[in-house]
Structure 1
Amino acid sequence: GFVPILSCFYAVFHPTEGPRVEVQVPPGSITESDDPTAFEEPLLDFDSIKNYIIPKEPLCDRMLILKCGAYRIVSHPMHISNPRYPRNFFLFNFCFVFYGDDEPTPYFPIIKELAQMFCTLEEQSQFLTNRKSSLSSAIEQVFEDLNHYYECMIPLDSANKINLKLFPLYAPPEEIKSYHVPITTVQLKRLTDPNWDPTMRRILGLIDGVSSVKRIADLADADYSIVKKCIQHLMYYDCVLIIDIFQFSNRYACTPDIELFATDDAMQAECASYVASPGAPVTSPVSLLWLYRSLHHGISVREWATHQKDKLYGIDIRRFITFGFIKRIIYRVHSHAVLSSVGDVRDEDAEDRLRRMSQKSSTVGAPDENAIFQRLLKGPRSMDWICSELNISQKEAVELLQRHGEWIFVHA
């Protein structure tokens, strides 16, 4: 849900009295009121903050956040210059009050929209200065509807209405690489809409938990940058998760969260169900814990699977690794290719080496190898990146690198 609005009020700059509150909901929440339902005492001392509620013109038409005691006031003051007003201007502000520890960010767009809409209405028909009674009931309904339904649609007259809706704000999705593999968390086909982007609809059936982002782009015959944006869009709405591409040459090790797996019965049951091969018996939690703890830096998945062959009966290894990675009980130990003598050569020697390697790579057959080697000489690259760019296995990537120089493979 969304944090509650404690008070909503409308303030203006009066030509003789200065800043004052015209409408407040609930009554007495900002200034004293004779209403029988009013608060016994206001939440705030308006006189002490009135110059920030009705600020100078340079602070108008922008979001203002004011921390006042235990409360936070969010507003978007507006300034209208026109000779029809007593001081040649009209300054007003719609303010929303929240608890100081609450996060009101989802309200920012609607507060701005509300302010700009009423600014337009005032410029066109003097709505704020001529129809204060209608404004009072509208603000009250905005307060009630946003708190209870998180949206409102309130008619103001035959031609205008307040139409607001709160939307949750998520953190931006993490940057994804060409070798990352998207895994669905929902049934995307049920969410598909005919009006979706054509590329989005084309890639949905290709997200299988095995294919990398680059592979999906190739299979869909679509531009990689567009496919990447589509997958990031799905990540934003928690429709997919991102993991590293699975290869038996990968290495994994346990995180401190392995202790959670040891004590969480629900996670153990979920894991046993997820990793079981079709028709195979469910593996015991003790065996699953043993298998996770047996993963470490110095051993690849292929070597680990050979050593644990008996205990892995009935377990889908890829799903076993995927589950541990998603639940953060294991982490990936990445392999990086580093040119072994790069620190011992002069700049001109490095250029000669690059030229020789580029010439060699052009004869191997892969059209992208020249660019790959140039980027490798500028710094260490993960083996996942090399495999994805050249569309080859890690074993083939190692053999290719070793044919073109002396390389060290660092696991970290």
Structure 2
Amino acid sequence: MLSDTQGALSPARSDDNNPFFEGCGREGPIRCIFFSEFHPTAGPKISCQVPEDYISKEVFDAVSVYIIPKQQLQRSILTVNVLGHKITGFPINIPNKKYARNAFYFNLCFVCDAWARTVQYEGVVKKLAEYLMMMELESNFLSNELQLAPENCKLPSILQQILFDLNSKKSCTITEGTTNMHLKVVKVASDPPAILDHQVPIFTVNVQNFTKEMWDLTTQQVLPFINGFNHVAKIAAEADVESNLVKACVQNLVYYGVVQLIPIFQYSNVYCTTPALQKLSDDAHSQEECLKYVARSESNLPALRDVFNMYCNMTHGTTLKDLCLRLNPYTLKIDEQKLVQYGLLQGYIRRINKIPVHSGNTHGSEPPTAMTLQQHLNGVNSYDEICCLSGLSAAQLDQIVDSDPTVFIIWK
């Protein structure tokens, strides 16, 4: 894929051999910007585009009904995918008897590759269209431009500046007469996943950098109980806030990158390393950050070798309790709870979930408690989820599972 700057200078059309696909989530550069109008005799047409002839008549005719749409779709963000192009516009209708057909219809559209994510451009397209509408209402800028000879038009140079600046700098300032307009492409994050009772929020930024006035009242009430160990259900109970409100609050914090979700910490947990651990052996900055985070004392850091060794010994079949008894992190100046937190946050390790499954066979001697839990022993719910749903501790659930021959364990 071309870089953003290259895309502005030498647009490339979509190719059947392109490895990207619609919905892949990758962002791409703006390939073309065009201005379209409804001509009183010719109908919908492209009056100006940069680069020239990027959008062919065949492509435009295929989507013209969405470029200059019916009244019901006016002043709405419309994105269409056609013949290898994704076109985003914000059609506008200015009613006035001075225009032919008593109205002026236009649309300024951004064109990207068919596979590219374009939601980040929607706000820019809308703002730009409304800016042009204001210019038309104040000074007939657009209708005058369309009557000029091509060499005297300002619109092509304006569109060229927007195309180049947004692709290379993600921002652009347009000056026309005494009016300035600032455009900026803002990255739009994906919707955060649903928050579950057993998930543990942990701060990924220094919360001290935020003032109290920056948070809503629910968030102010919840924040003191987010410590990297309390799960959502426990936070709701301790903060005396309804569970769904806490989930909405945490989901909002996840969206803005303030917190990240990790599993509940327990010494019975099993973890294993991931390929990302290689970074800890190669990157000096990561090593320094890791040692400061996992140390029991800021003034007495552990040895990198000991930290790396503890991570490497996290494997299937070994609980954290077993690992601590064998390596004794206290004598190594390592806080095992922070070690696990940091490993999860950086992706160096992952939790191996313990999932009980009821076989479906029933026995007369089956414990009554196990009978009540059968709906949760479905091969989907982990120990953490079942404990939150039932109010049982992991040790109590272990006793129930161990005493029931119809329940077996999946580690995943």
TM norm structure 2: 0.72
Partner residue of 1:150 out of 157, 160, 171: 171
Q: CA deviation at 1:94?
A: 0.8
Q: Which residue is 2:149 aligned to?
A: none
**Cα offset for 1:379?**
5.1
Aligned to 1:76: 90
With over 3 angstroms needed to count, the CA separation of the structure-2 counterparts of 1:333 and 1:149, relative to structure 1, is closer
Root mean square deviation of aligned Cα:
4.5
Q: How far did 1:153 drift?
A: 8.9
**Alignment equivalent of 2:78, drawn from 63, 78, 86:** 63
Does the aligned pair in 1 maintain the 2:270–2:351 contact within 8 Å? yes
SS in structure 2 at match of 1:257: helix
Sort the Cα spacing of 1:153 and 1:254 in 2 relative to 1 into closer, same or farther, 3 A.
Answer: same
Write the deviation string for residues 48-68 of structure 1: whole angstroms up to 9, x where unpaired. Answer: 544257436658645234678
Matched, 1:109 2:123: yes
Does the 8 Å CA contact 2:30/2:163 hold for their aligned counterparts? no
Residue matched to 1:288: 307
1:236 corresponds in structure 2 to 255
User: What is the CA-CA distance between 1:43 and the residue it aligns to?
Assistant: 5.8
Give the one of 226, 229, 250 matched to 1:210. 229
1:235-274 map, 5 Å: 235-274=254-293
Q: Pick one of 360, 366, 369 that aligns with 1:343.
A: 360
1:3-14 alignment runs, 5 A limit: 8-14=33-39
Q: SS of 2:213's equivalent?
A: coil
Aligned counterparts of 2:128 and 2:31: Cα–Cα separation in 1: 18
Letter in 2 for 1:44: Y
Percent identical: 25
The change in CA–CA distance for 1:181 and 1:377 in structure 2 (over 3 A counts) is: closer
Partner Cα separation in structure 2 for residue 377 and residue 68 of structure 1: 49
**2:61 alignment counterpart:** 51
> 1:205-257: CA deviations, max 9, x gaps?
22111111111111111111111111111111111111101011111122233
Distance across 2 between alignment mates of 1:139 and 1:107: 20
CA distance in 2, matches of 1:310, 1:193: 37
Post-superposition CA distance 1:83-132 (Å, at most 9, x none)? 8754576532212345778654311133245547867998x999677665
SS at match of 2:229: coil
Distance in 2 of aligned mates of 1:187 and 1:301 = 28
Secondary structure in structure 2 of the residue aligned to 1:343: coil
| 1:37 corresponds to | none
In structure 1, the residue matched to 2:238 is 219
Distance 1:379 1:85, change over 3 A: same
8 Å contact 1:234–1:240 — kept in the other structure?
Answer: yes
Note if contact 1:248-1:300 (Cα within 8 Å) is conserved in structure 2: yes
Match of 1:183, SS? strand
Q: CA 1:221/1:154 → structure 2, altered by over 3 Å: closer, same or farther?
A: farther
**Do the aligned partners of 2:356 and 2:378 also contact (CA within 8 Å) in 1?**
no
Unaligned ranges ≥5, structure 1: 31-41, 361-369
What residue in structure 1 maps to residue 20 of structure 2? none
- The answer to whether 1:308 aligns with 2:342 is no
Match of 1:36? none
Distance 1:223 1:153 in 2: 48
SS in 1 for 2:408: strand
Q: Distance in 2 between matches of 1:252 and 1:194?
A: 39
The structure that has the greater radius of gyration is 1
